[in-house]
Amino acid sequence: MPTRNWPKPNKSSALPRFLRLLVASLLLPAAAWAQHAEPALTRPVTGRTQLPPYPAPTAPDTVRARSLPDAFRRGRWHGRVRSYTMATLNQGRYPDYYAQGLGAGARFETASFHGLQVGVGGFFWANLASNDLATPDSLTGAVSRYEVGLFDVTNPGRRRLTGRAEELFLRYRWRQSTLTLGRQLLTTPLLNPQDGRLSPNYAEGLWLELRELPRTTLSAGWLTGLAVRSTTDWTSVGGSVGLYPAGVTEAGQRALYAGNLHSRGLGIVGVNRQVGARTTAQVWNYYADNLFNASFAELTTGRVLGMGQLTLGGQYHYQRTVGSGGNPNPQLAYSAPGRRAHALSTRLGYQRGAWSVSGNYTRITRTGRFLFPREWGREPFYTFLPREREEGFGGVDAAAVLGGYSFARVPGLKAEAGYGHYYLPDVKNTRLNKYGMPSYRQLNASLTYAFPGWAKGLRGQLLYVYKGRLGNTYGEARYEVNKVDLHLVNLILNYDF
């Protein structure tokens, strides 16, 4: 099997090398096809998720049990199988990576018994093939950034079958509302499944959703634990921050907050209201005890224009440090004392028939870094493109054009593309640049297909990403490898049953 000691071709041979990686990425999952393995839930270029991890639950009160044993007999099983192939082609002398992961899981939820339901679920996965994802490259000191996320980032050398218990909850349904206690899947603007690998995020705590007011949903909860994507264990709220690379402090020192943060939990409150036929507003607040407070507001609206619909969207984010930011020692703290951050994101879009296109802009002010643990979810900026984020930076200007087309002659087939420029602070401006990421441009192209008939439940996605350098990297590998001047290929198969 190839290792990182592959000979490094020059730039003239980069295209053939890329083609070899592409062919390999297409061949590796062949075995998974035989099992109806299917595409993982990845974030499309439009910034919206396409598939829930499991089919939608039975509508409230449509299945009622007469006794506790009857509730289990009438319960519903759901299963999923995922195959995920990923390859990274870095420029010139820098190392390349590839990985093929396969996972399978199941979920069971009882029928309603006096409004009560119990749910349980788990997932297993294995590294079927990859090069060395754990040992630093001898020339650059780099390790895999993307491929290691298919497995366990806390133990990248592990190749044997592994897994975790994901859901274990007690849920009470009353009219249109629910109260859930335990381990569950949650989706909010900032804390979300970010399901772009084999298995998503899960949260542990108490979660309430009230839908008793017309066109209004009130959400509130207190979380004490998380199962972070690309890890195998459940951790506390404080312990979950730092499982992914932590970057540097504002003073430029290596951030060492992993395992050193103290927090009692995470409180979330949100209101979503349908204001008009085409207008929706939502407001959310996230209080991470002793870490930070983050507020989010969004207004989206649309109007008929010609044969299509014009859409407008706007977001505002405000953040501030709470307490010591996790630890009195600045090098061990997640958020610097006194930090404040503001961000704005806007969208102008148009949809007509099978076509959709949008222009998007995001501004993060220079008052401070925009921070929200990457372990907890993806930020909802309109300029988001899969495989990179705007979290961890201040003084950002980003602009992106996104488009999509659904093929009427091939039901279930959709093409999407996105292109954006992301202007970040200089890589050496550590006050505003946490991860040493230079300004860059990014191109995403995606094909997704939902199979019909006997293969219903099987979905596939092919995602190609290119990231090019715009900012100064000072010729240092740490600012280039796995960050800019690279190609990414993802082939995903997902089967739900």
Mean pLDDT of 466-483: 97
Report the C-alpha gap between 186 and 182 in whole angstroms.
11
The most confident of 11-20, 159-168, 204-213, by mean pLDDT? 204-213
| pLDDT at residue 41 tops 50 | no
pLDDT-derived band at 36, boundaries 50, 70, 90? very low
What letters, b where the CB count within 10 A reaches 16 and e where it falls short, cover 141-172? Answer: ebbbbbbbbbbbbbebeeeeebbbebbbbebe
| pLDDT at residue 482 tops 60 | yes
Q: 234 and 263 in contact (C-beta within 8 Å)?
A: no
Region of residue 165 (left: phi > 0; alpha: psi -120 to 50; beta: else): beta
Q: 190 and 284 in contact (C-beta within 8 Å)?
A: yes
The pLDDT mean for the chain works out to 89
Report the C-alpha gap between 38 and 260 in whole angstroms.
38
* In 62-158, beta strands by DSSP E: 76-90, 97-109, 116-130
Which residue type is seen at 98?
A: Y
Altogether, the residues listed in the chain come to a count of: 497
Mean pLDDT of 450-464: 96
CATH class entry, domain 11-110+121-162+294-496: mainly beta
Position 140 scores a pLDDT of: 87
Q: What is the pLDDT of residues 330-344, one digit of tens each?
A: 999 999 999 999 999
Q: Which H or E run contains 415?
A: strand 413-423
Region of poorest pLDDT, from 137-141, 262-266, 362-366: 137-141
Position 4 scores a pLDDT of: 36
Q: Kindly list the domain boundaries of the chain, sorted by start residue.
A: 11-110+121-162+294-496
| pLDDT at residue 119 tops 80 | yes
pLDDT-derived band at 464, boundaries 50, 70, 90? very high
Task: Say how far residue 460 (Cα) sits from the centre of its chain.
Answer: 18
The residues with which 464 forms a beta bridge, in sequence order, are 445, 489
Position 109 scores a pLDDT of: 97
Closest CA to 449 of 150, 25, 44, 3: 44
Mean pLDDT of 218-223: 99
Torsion 426-470-377-241 (CA) sign: negative
Alpha helices (H) along 418-484: none
| pLDDT at residue 43 tops 70 | no
Report the C-alpha gap between 125 and 199 in whole angstroms.
9
Position 46 scores a pLDDT of: 44
Global confidence as pTM: 0.87
Closest CA to 371 of 343, 399, 397, 346: 343
